[in-house]
């Protein structure tokens, strides 16, 4: 973005409004950042003109939010949010104003804003108008509520999180009265939606001074009121620089027990968080092996190791070993196999079916464990042996014999089925969302069931005996 060009186009809008006899000023965060000689994200304008009047005199005006006294004026790649001066009155049980009045007075508009450093205005000639001593607070690096803190936070509890957002971005401190008001009003944060909360935590976790913001949250009893984050914030704060953005969220949700229903993550980030959580659930506290690397990948397992060693103080981190195992893997995916699925189908005389993926996976595991070399002839020989055992080649029946079922077997089988169902349901809750098709849901369910079955069989030798006896 060309910030100078953006600013000049904004100045042209102010000039045009002045020519039409309206008052108009740059307002809010843009003026704050300009005063600090920082790049600004967007330009907001406050004016005495109504939305309908702005629409009348400017081309390309988006009126979607005109009912709230706000329009978007577009000029090429640049957008300008233009709001009419207003006064607001709040009800007793909502963070949204119940009454809004248009005003012709800049002071009325400024008085309704949250913090003094966000209440600066600026003229077309770039002269700052400071009606709340915001410049002084900028110089002192102080975050101060406009008006009485407790009253302003009751009007809109989201202002509390906006305050911490300023701490996270700039490293500033709260004025004494503001700090007291936050501590007295922390319980009001229950009224904040998951989406808004998530948006603010994203900023906190990603900002330069995020650790300082989290520390203040804990000190002022705010952290404990944040759904989905209260248990994780102390750990994130202590390990702030060690964790990626996705790992911070995954840690919080791991301790919370679930991902909040409404988040603002993009699909890629959400998938990674879900993958970390799923892997944490499946791996547990087991030492990381080559098979883990094969199934989950070294990068995900590094994230898993970080989180579980942070949460479990008696568990030593093993990142170096995980990375070493990752580098030493003979193959990283099925595509690296010298003997592939098509070769297997050809070997079986053209037969297709679920057995293909099962055998390929078995071959891949043997290669990773060093039992078979990743060479075509070696893998073909091993594949032939597996196909014979499965009765796919030459009509040979499987070697496995069905054992006689005992009462003990029945009890074990019942235990196995209950444990399997529990694990599958727990993981599906984290992996399935409303955006998935029925086919995707079913595929996910089958894969989870397979993974959980493997885990149960490996952990319990008695379950293995049932499987070997053909009862599973």
Q: Measure the CA–CA gap between 99 and 121, rounded to whole angstroms.
A: 24
Average pLDDT on 8-24 reads 96
Asked which of 81, 106, 140 is the last residue of a domain, the reply is 140
SS3 103: coil
Residue 182 counted as domain residue: yes
Check whether residue 257 and residue 286 sit in a common domain. Answer: no
Check whether residue 286 and residue 248 sit in a common domain. Answer: no
Residue 368 counted as domain residue: no
How high is the pLDDT of residue 252?
Answer: 97
**Dihedral of CA 102/105/111/114: which sign?**
positive
Check whether residue 416 and residue 442 sit in a common domain. Answer: yes
- CATH code at position 236: 1.10.3090.10
Asked which of 284, 303, 329 is the last residue of a domain, the reply is 329
* Contact call for residues 104 and 67 (beta carbons, < 8 A): no
Asked which of 140, 157, 189 is the last residue of a domain, the reply is 140
Domain count, the chain: 4
Residue 187 predicted with pLDDT over 70 = yes
Residue 36 counted as domain residue: yes
How high is the pLDDT of residue 114?
Answer: 94
On average, the pLDDT of the chain sits at 89
Check whether residue 61 and residue 154 sit in a common domain. Answer: no
Residue 99 predicted with pLDDT over 70 = no
Residue 92 predicted with pLDDT over 60 = no
Q: 42-89, pLDDT tens digit by residue?
A: 999 999 999 999 999 999 999 999 988 999 999 999 999 999 998 766
Percentage of the chain modeled with pLDDT above 70: 94
Q: Measure the CA–CA gap between 35 and 126, rounded to whole angstroms.
A: 10
Q: Which residues pair with 173 in a beta bridge?
A: 142
* Contact call for residues 54 and 22 (beta carbons, < 8 A): no
- CATH code at position 107: 3.30.460.10
Q: Measure the CA–CA gap between 25 and 43, rounded to whole angstroms.
A: 10
Average pLDDT on 25-49 reads 95
Check whether residue 246 and residue 282 sit in a common domain. Answer: no
Q: Which residues pair with 82 in a beta bridge?
A: 45, 71
Average pLDDT on 417-433 reads 83
Residue 353 counted as domain residue: no
Check whether residue 304 and residue 234 sit in a common domain. Answer: no
Residue 288 counted as domain residue: yes
Residue 213 counted as domain residue: yes
Residue 392 counted as domain residue: no
* Contact call for residues 101 and 86 (beta carbons, < 8 A): yes
Give the DSSP letter of residue 368: H
How high is the pLDDT of residue 163?
Answer: 98
Check whether residue 121 and residue 157 sit in a common domain. Answer: no
Give the DSSP letter of residue 417: H
Q: Measure the CA–CA gap between 39 and 366, rounded to whole angstroms.
A: 56
* Contact call for residues 13 and 45 (beta carbons, < 8 A): yes
Whether this model's pTM surpasses 0.85: no
Check whether residue 122 and residue 145 sit in a common domain. Answer: no
Q: 267-290, pLDDT tens digit by residue?
A: 999 999 999 999 999 999 999 988
Residue 64 counted as domain residue: yes
Check whether residue 132 and residue 151 sit in a common domain. Answer: no
* 319 sits in which H/E element: helix 319-328
Domain hosting 157: range is 141-262
CA dist 89 → 51, 100, 162 (Å): 20, 7, 20
Average pLDDT on 174-190 reads 96
Check whether residue 52 and residue 5 sit in a common domain. Answer: yes
**φ, ψ dihedrals at 369, nearest 5°:** -80, -5
Check whether residue 1 and residue 134 sit in a common domain. Answer: yes
45-49, 154-158, 442-446: the lowest-pLDDT one:
442-446
51-55, 146-150, 294-298: the lowest-pLDDT one:
294-298
How high is the pLDDT of residue 458?
Answer: 79
* Cβ-Cβ contacts under 8 Å for 373 (sequence gap 6 or more): 367
Give the rounded distance of the alpha carbon of 367 from its chain centre. 36
Check whether residue 3 and residue 98 sit in a common domain. Answer: yes
């Amino acid at each position: 973005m060309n910030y100078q060009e953006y600013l000049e186009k904004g100045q042209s809008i102010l000039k045009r409004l002045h020519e039409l006899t309206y008052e108009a000023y740059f307002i809010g965060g843009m003026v704050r950042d300009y005063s600090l000689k920082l790049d600004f994200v967007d330009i907001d304008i406050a004016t005495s003109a109504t939305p309908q009047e702005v629409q009348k005199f400017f081309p390309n005006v988006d009126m979607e939010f005109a009912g709230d006294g706000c329009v978007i004026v577009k000029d090429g790649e640049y957008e300008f949010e233009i709001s009419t001066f207003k006064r607001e009155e709040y009800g007793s049980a909502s963070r949204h104003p119940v009454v809004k009045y248009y005003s012709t007075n800049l002071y009325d508009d400024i008085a309704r804003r949250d913090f003094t450093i966000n209440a600066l205005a600026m003229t077309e000639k770039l002269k700052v108008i400071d009606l709340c001593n915001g410049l002084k607070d900028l110089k002192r690096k102080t975050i101060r509520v406009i008006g009485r803190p407790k009253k302003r936070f009751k009007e809109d509890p989201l202002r509390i999180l906006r305050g911490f957002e300023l701490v996270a971005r700039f490293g500033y401190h709260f004025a004494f009265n503001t700090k007291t008001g936050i501590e007295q009003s922390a319980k009001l944060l229950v009224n904040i939606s998951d989406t808004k909360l998530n948006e603010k935590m994203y900023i906190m976790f990603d900002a330069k001074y995020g650790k300082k913001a989290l520390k203040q949250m804990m000190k002022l009893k705010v952290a404990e009121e944040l759904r989905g984050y209260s248990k994780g914030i102390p750990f994130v704060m202590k390990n702030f620089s060690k964790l990626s953005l996705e790992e911070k969220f995954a840690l919080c949700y791991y301790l919370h027990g679930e991902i909040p229903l409404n988040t603002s993550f993009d699909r890629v980030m959400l998938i990674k968080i879900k993958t970390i959580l799923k892997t944490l659930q499946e791996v547990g506290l087991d030492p990381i092996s080559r098979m883990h690397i094969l199934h989950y990948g070294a990068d995900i397992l590094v994230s898993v190791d970080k989180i579980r060693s942070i949460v479990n103080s008696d568990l030593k981190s093993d990142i170096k070993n995980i990375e070493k195992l990752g580098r030493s893997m003979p193959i990283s995916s099925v595509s690296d196999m010298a003997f592939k699925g098509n070769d297997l189908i050809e070997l079986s005389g053209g037969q297709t079916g679920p057995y293909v993926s099962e055998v390929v996976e078995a071959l891949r595991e043997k290669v990773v464990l060093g039992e078979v070399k990743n060479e075509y002839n070696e893998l073909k020989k091993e594949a032939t042996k597996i196909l014979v055992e499965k009765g796919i080649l030459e009509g040979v029946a499987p070697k496995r014999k069905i054992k006689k079922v005992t009462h003990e077997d029945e009890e074990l089988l019942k235990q196995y089925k209950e444990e399997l169902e529990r694990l599958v349901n727990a993981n599906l809750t984290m992996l399935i969302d409303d955006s998935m098709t029925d086919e995707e849901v079913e595929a996910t369910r089958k894969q989870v069931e397979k993974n959980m079955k493997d885990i149960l069989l490996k952990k319990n030798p008695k379950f293995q005996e049932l499987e070997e006896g053909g009862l599973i």
